[in-house]
Amino acid sequence: MEFNLYAIIILAALVGDFLLGALADGLNLRAASETVPAEFAAVYDAVAYARSQRYLWARTRFGLVRGGAELAILLAFWFGGGFGWVQRLTNSWAGGEIVQGLLFVALLALGRMVYSLPFSWYAVFVLESRFGFNRTTLGTFIKDLLKGLVLSVVIGGPLLAGILWLLGRAGSLAWLWCWLAVAGFSLLMQVIYPAWIMPWFNRFEPLEEGDLRRRILAMAAAVGFPVQRVQVMDGSRRSGHSNAMVTGFGRAKRIALYDTLLADHPADEIVAITAHEVGHWRLHHIWWLTVFHLVHLGILFRLLAVFLHHEGLFAAFGVVPSTAAGLVFFGLLYTPVELVLALGLNVQSRRCEYAADRFAATATGLGEAMIAALKRLSVHNLSNLTPHPLTVALEYSHPPVLARIRALRSVTPPAEETTP
């Protein structure tokens, strides 16, 4: 391998990415407030709050160790000539560029899975367990792993084969064909994922007839989002964290509530949370996100097509040029662009969250219930109430909870004035 400009750029990008994350982590820990913020004084006792601080420290420490170890393994593999070794090995197993390319990517992905396994195991069975969140059994953990593997082979395999085939055959417009193919595929996945893949991992049952179901359906109809199905998902099979979501397209749309959410929140709050999720659809956030994703894919393939012909990129990793290797290394080269895009996407996503909160408060008049729900969720999930702005910029798709509450207050008249 050759330590050329590509190697320098990629090395700087990988190390820089890690250091930026570590800096944000350090600032985030320093920003943590030792006392309960006033807004939460009534719902967070000192003992539970101290626990949330320990959770923050434990997760941060674990994230740094994991990130550092994974970076060290990648760099050792790279500078130890690992990529060239894998390429020679997989090329000796079979002929044909596409099959060789599939084997190359599959072996690298398998290697990555193996070294990240101890970290995933620790995160679930030590870290989350210590704070009482983990409900996953070893059996479920292994089954999830195998199902993920099956999905990668059955769905990822043909997709990758198609991309390799197009890039090899379609000439100067290959990037355009790849874009169209992957765009079509990801739109198809939006239908397939909730209908077939999610039920493979979780059980969905209709929410029982009764007041809550009636109220959710009435709310959805009142805001012009008629759904027929409200379901309960057995989120508690894996974790104590809770959530709600709206999935599917057209007539297949449905609302799914985690069983953990049902167990912890009064009806008002569940309706408010559901209204927030419905808000994302009514305000077209899902479509904007899809359009952004598709445009991003187009840019990605256009750039990829350029760099596939730069021999220096392959020399930096000690491999002979091949489309599959180009995909992998372009992915690494793309790290800084990815970072900038993530910053932009997070800003947009946080804006959408404010808008969905506002929607829940104004369209349903459940602003107070939404605030109560956010507080309960934060306490339940031991969320960090005072994250540092750099951490928010890098990682938060949702605004910090205190900012959300402040924004909700500004559109919700205080309770004293509405109840005479």
CB atoms within 10 A of CB 252: 13
Q: Which is nearer to Zn ion, 220 or 356 (CB)?
A: 356
Q: How far is the CB of 379 from Zn ion (least distance, A)?
A: 19
Minimal distance, residue 274 CB to Zn ion, in Å? 11
The residue (of 57 and 287) whose beta carbon lies closer to Zn ion is 287
Relative to beta strand 204-206, strand 229-233 is antiparallel
> At what angle are helices 46-79 and 5-31 packed, to 10 degrees?
170
Q: Contact, 380 vs 235, CB < 8 A?
A: no
CB 117 within 8 A of CB 66: no
Q: How many residues bind Zn ion (CB under 5 A)?
A: 2
Measured distance CA(8)–CA(5) in Å, rounded: 5
Known catalytic residues are 277, 357
- Nearest alpha carbon to residue 304 among 168, 165, 175: 175
Q: Which 356-415 residues touch Zn ion, going by CB under 5 A?
A: 356
Kindly tell me the burial class for residue 171, based on how many C-beta atoms sit within 10 Å of its own C-beta (0-12, 13-18, 19 or more). Answer: exposed
Of 97 and 395, nearer to Zn ion (C-beta) is 395
- Minimum separation from the CB atom of position 277 to Zn ion (A): 6
CB of 276 to Zn ion, least distance (A): 6
Binding pattern for the stretch 323-362 against Zn ion, x by CB under 5 A and - elsewhere = ------------------------------x--x------
Gap between the Cα atoms of 375 and 403, Å rounded? 12
Q: Which is nearer to Zn ion, 358 or 388 (CB)?
A: 358
Would you say 128 or 353 has its CB closer to Zn ion? 353
Task: Please give the Cα distance from 6 to 28 (Å, whole number).
Answer: 32
Q: Say what angle helices 138-151 and 97-122 make with each other, to 10 degrees.
A: 160
CB of 353 to Zn ion, least distance (A): 5
365, 357 Cβ separation under 8 angstroms: no
Q: Which residues of the chain form contacts with Zn ion (CB under 5 A)? A: 353, 356
